[in-house]
């Protein structure tokens, strides 16, 4: 199992899945604490129209125009949600629901209207990605990791995802203190002179970058699951933010690795012949972890919940 076929078929999806999970789980911690968990849901829906419009404008499915289109759509969505909320005086949840469904519908409509047969953007791909197909064909075993010629043939999603995950980890470390302060006590952070609105917007932008980068490789459903499930499970394990983030990264890695392996090998163990969706399986495993945390996590109850009855 750990031989040449593993390196060729499983290593790249495993790494890409893991990096995507970490990249989403890091900002996810703050989104969950700020009760903005569903921003991730909204962003991952509007990525579709962004990609479709980028394709229409450039006529290619090159990576960078797509990423820019998706990031642009995410920013448009955030601005629109804010505008609907303020102009219409509508509660944030409903404003979000109005904007992301309309943008997603527009994306599907444009996709149906244009002739995109022969290239692979379709709604299903957008939803559950194609992690299984990201194989490293020229690998001949573990030795290929040192072979420049074989390394050049790695799926391009892998280095891209690695760069984004590293960037997000770096940003989280750099802005740790302001992020922590403004998340727990926005008023106090503001009196210290921190630009709380800018921090809030920056967090959403980082989440959008994570969503867009992960989306291309793994589909939007993992993105939503990774934004919410590992941080939510981690929240039930500890009261300290440092430990919560560590737990969430551990849960994200466990979900990605466990999900990928279960999707590829699980059906064989059960006597089936075909692999199942890795993206779906990763989301499922993260859900199982969250369920266990809800049932057994040491800090699962709300403080004072017993007294409230």
Partner 1 sequence: MSGPFLDAFLAALALQAGYNSALVAIGAGLLGAAAGAGGTFLFLRKRALVADAVAHATLPGIGLAFMLMVALGGDGRHLVGLLLGSAVSATVGLVLVEWTTRRTRLAEDAAIGAVLSVFFGFGVVLLTVIQTMSSGRQAGLESFLLGSTAGMLYADAVTIAVGGAACVAAVALLRRPMTLVSFDPEWAAASGVNVRGVDLAIMGLVMAVTVIGLKIVGLILIVALLIIPPVTARFWTERTERVVWIAGGLGGAAGYLGAALSASAPDLPTGPIIVLVSFGLFALSLLLAPGRGVAAALWRRRRFQLRVHRRQGLLALARGEPIFDGLTLKVLRRDRLIRPDAVATRAGAAQAAKVLRDEKRWEVARQLYRDETISGRYDGLTAIEAVLTRDEIADIDRRLGPPTPVEGAA
Which residues of the chain form contacts with partner 1 (CB under 8 A)? 32, 35-38, 40-41, 45, 84, 87-91, 93-98, 101-102, 104-106, 108-109, 112-113, 123-124, 127-128, 221-222, 224-225, 227-229, 232, 235-236, 263, 267, 272-277, 279-284, 286-287, 290, 294, 297, 299-303, 305
Smallest gap from residue 55 Cβ to partner 1 (A): 16
Smallest gap from residue 277 Cβ to partner 1 (A): 4
Measured from the CB atom, the residue of 1 and 87 that comes closer to partner 1 is 87
Give the DSSP letter of residue 9: I
Measured from the CB atom, the residue of 35 and 307 that comes closer to partner 1 is 35
Question: Is residue 39 packed enough to be buried (19+ CB in 10 Å), middle (13-18) or exposed (0-12)?
Answer: buried
Rounded (10°) CA dihedral 118, 120, 123, 124 = 110
Two structure tokens written together for 119: 């290239």
Smallest gap from residue 64 Cβ to partner 1 (A): 27
Cα of first residue to Cα of last residue in the chain, in angstroms, is 52
**In this structure, are residues 7 and 144 in contact, taking their beta carbons and an 8 Å threshold?**
yes
Q: Which one, of 20, 11, 5, lies nearest residue 261 by Cα?
A: 11
Measured from the CB atom, the residue of 91 and 242 that comes closer to partner 1 is 91
CB atoms within 10 A of CB 144: 20
Smallest gap from residue 168 Cβ to partner 1 (A): 19
At 6, give phi and psi (nearest 5°).
Answer: -60, -45
Measured from the CB atom, the residue of 117 and 191 that comes closer to partner 1 is 117
Smallest gap from residue 27 Cβ to partner 1 (A): 13
Measured from the CB atom, the residue of 7 and 228 that comes closer to partner 1 is 228
């Amino acid at each position: 199992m750990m031989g040449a076929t593993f390196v060729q078929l499983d290593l790249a999806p495993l790494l890409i899945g893991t990096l995507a999970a970490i990249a989403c789980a890091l900002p996810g911690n703050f989104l969950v604490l700020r009760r903005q968990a569903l921003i991730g849901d909204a962003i991952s829906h509007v990525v579709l129209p962004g990609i479709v419009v980028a394709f229409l404008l450039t006529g290619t499915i090159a990576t960078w125009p797509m990423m820019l289109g998706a990031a642009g759509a995410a920013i448009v969505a955030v601005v629109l949600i804010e505008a609907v909320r303020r102009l219409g005086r509508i509660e944030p949840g409903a404003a979000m629901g109005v904007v992301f469904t309309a943008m997603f519908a527009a994306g599907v409509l444009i996709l149906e209207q244009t002739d995109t047969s022969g290239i692979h953007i379709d709604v299903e791909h957008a939803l559950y990605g194609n992690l299984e197909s990201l194989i490293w064909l020229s690998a001949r075993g573990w030795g290929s990791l040192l072979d420049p010629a074989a390394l050049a043939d790695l799926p391009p999603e892998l280095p891209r995802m690695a760069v984004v995950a590293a960037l997000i980890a770096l940003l989280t470390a750099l802005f740790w203190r302001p992020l922590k302060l403004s998340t727990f006590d926005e008023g106090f952070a503001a009196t210290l002179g921190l630009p709380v609105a800018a921090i809030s917007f920056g967090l959403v932008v980082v989440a959008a970058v994570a969503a867009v980068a992960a989306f291309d490789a793994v589909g939007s459903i993992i993105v939503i699951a990774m934004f919410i499930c590992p941080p939510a499970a981690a929240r039930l394990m500890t009261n300290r933010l440092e430990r919560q983030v560590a737990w969430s990264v551990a849960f994200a890695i466990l979900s990605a690795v466990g999900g990928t392996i279960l999707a590829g090998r699980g059906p064989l163990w059960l006597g089936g012949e075909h692999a199942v969706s890795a993206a779906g399986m990763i989301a499922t495993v993260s859900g199982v972890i969250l369920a266990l945390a809800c049932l057994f996590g040491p800090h699962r109850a709300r403080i004072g919940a017993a007294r409230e009855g």
